Amino acid sequence: MQRVAFLLKVRADKLDEYKAHHQHVWPEMLAALRAAGWHNYSLFVRDDGLLFGYVETPEGLAAAQAQMAATDVNARWQEFMAPYVESADGKRADEMFLQLEEVFHLD
């Protein structure tokens, strides 16, 4: 199981809406994430919009992302969430993960 930590930037002026949408993620999106091997997926955000994400996946992040990219629901979710994420080059949020290097794990 690969543990992955990443950063994104949510627009500070849209932060409350972003958080509200994540309280009610579409059931078909949740099912697609699970089917694509996304486990223990969590998002944390600061007041300025800096978002820290964590996910565990058996085949690695690239494979998990590729499986999601092949789904219609992911395309719809990414389009829906695009106004909330800062993107200088028009990339979707799921294409902009700034992956962090793991330097310590207790277990």
Q: Which positions ≥6 away from 10 have C-beta within 8 Å?
A: 18, 45, 49, 50, 51, 84, 85, 86
Token digits for 64?
């998990």
Find the angle CA(64)-CA(66)-CA(69) to the nearest 5 degrees.
Answer: 110
Judged on CB neighbours under 10 Å (0-12, 13-18, 19+), 106 is exposed
Q: Which residues are catalytic?
A: 22
